[in-house]
Amino acid sequence: MFTNLQDKLDRAFKVLKGQGSITEINVAETMKEIRKALLDADVNYKTAKTFTDDVKQKALGQNVLTSISPGQLLTKIMSDELSDLMGGTVSELETQKNPTIILIAGLNGAGKTTFSGKLANFLKDKKGKKPLLVAGDVYRPAAIDQLQILGEQVGVPVYVNRESTDPIAIAREGVEAAKRDGNNIVIIDTAGRLAIDEALMLEITAVKEATQPHEILFVVDSMTGQDAVNTAKAFNDRLDFTGVVLTKLDGDTRGGAALSIKSVVNKPIKFIGTGEKMEALDVFYPERMASRILG
Ligand code: GDP
């Protein structure tokens, strides 16, 4: 994970690690290198600049220059700052409402349907919940089939209405079905598009209005770099989502988007997808991610 960024940061840190003493010039130069590494890894400019400025301020404030191991201290400051940038603490998913309604949004191929299955599996197995999946992608029959297969695989029922082409009605029916059948979680998978378009936004906004979800999770492919940040911003402007799911973090991803998304949209990253299997889902721990980035 974050291999590119990590390699570059490692190189930048070499200047500092193990050095007995460093100068303010060393700090400034290292920060410049780190900013470059972040920009190369698709972190947007503002995030990278704020990050390095903050770290520099803290480094100078905490007497890094006169400390016994300046490299280690600076690494700690950076790790804390990175963790803060990504939310600081674990952001829990709301699951206590009965039923808790969770709307899944994002572009085509981001991993929405896969994540819907994974989340149902996670809530059933790890939280003892009784979820219902709702197949809201009416444009692609294959998407409905896919969700049904995943539902079967994880032992969670799927609400399907193949007669209807109205995603708003289907979402509503799904919530009603959950109430009737005693499901305490409703996960509504929605249609994506190849790119942001007005029809998509109107539709997903209407589904939101109709179902009043407690959580709206925006699913984004972590391999899409800076585009991931732009898409997150566009969806958040319209949907005011409650959390982000970063998928495909098992691949050769560029980690920059993960850092930027939180700071650009100011919404927590709640889960990460680490593979195609139904078990390949992790809660997002900012500290773990920070130490992973820094190595
Ligand atoms: P949707 O169009 O947003 O519903 O996307 P899908 O759920 O159909 O996922 C698109 C492709 O990405 C599928 O081939 C999934 O198996 C794959 N995929 C989804 N999440 C992950 C992940 O975390 N890691 C990997 N490696 N592949 C994933």
pLDDT tens track for 99-135: 999 999 999 999 999 999 999 999 999 999 999 999 9
pLDDT in tens, 47-59: 889 899 998 888 8
Contacts of residue 158, Cβ cutoff 8 Å, sequence gap at least 6: 132, 133, 134, 135, 147, 148, 151
Q: pLDDT at position 158, please?
A: 98
Which atom of ligand 1 lies at the shortest distance from residue 108's CA? 2
Across the chain, what does the average pLDDT equal? 87
- The answer to whether the CB of 110 is under 6 A from ligand 1 is yes
Q: So what's the pLDDT on residue 131?
A: 98
Q: Is 189 annotated as a binding residue?
A: yes
pLDDT per residue as tens digits for the range 231-257: 999 999 999 999 999 999 887 665 567
**Which atom of ligand 1 is the closest one to the Cα of 251?**
26
The number of the ligand 1 atom at minimal distance from the alpha carbon of 107 is 3
Which of 152, 143, 130 is closest to 104 using CA atoms? 143
> Which residue among 187, 188, 276 has the greatest number of ligand 1 atoms within 8 angstroms of its CB, and so is best to mutate?
276
Closest residue (by CA) to atom 19 of ligand 1? Answer: 111
> How many other C-beta atoms are found inside a 10 Å radius of the C-beta of residue 93?
22
pLDDT: is 74 or 87 the higher one? 87
Q: State the pLDDT confidence band at 288, using cuts at 50, 70 and 90.
A: confident
pLDDT confidence tier of residue 2, bands split at 50, 70 and 90? very low
114: closest CA among 248, 291, 258, 270?
248
Confidence band, pLDDT 50/70/90 cuts, at residue 6 = low
Check whether 11 has a pLDDT greater than 70.
Answer: no
Q: What pLDDT does residue 1 have? A: 38
Question: From residue 66, how far is each of 93, 105, 108 by CA, in Å?
Answer: 43, 50, 52
Q: What does the pLDDT look like over 135-194, one tens digit per residue?
A: 999 888 899 999 999 999 999 999 999 999 999 999 999 999 999 999 999 999 998 877
Whether residue 161 is annotated as binding a ligand: the answer is no
**Contact in structure between 125 and 118 (CB atoms under 8 Å):** no
Q: Of the residues 1, 104, 114, which should be mutated to test ligand 1's pocket, given the most ligand atoms within 8 Å of the CB?
A: 114
pLDDT of residue 16: 59
Distance CA 36, CA 43 (A): 10
**Of all residues in the chain, what percent carry a pLDDT higher than 70?**
87
4 pLDDT above the threshold of 60 = no
Query: 100 C-alpha vs ligand 1 centroid, how far in Å?
Result: 24
Give me Rg for the CA atoms of the chain. Answer: 21
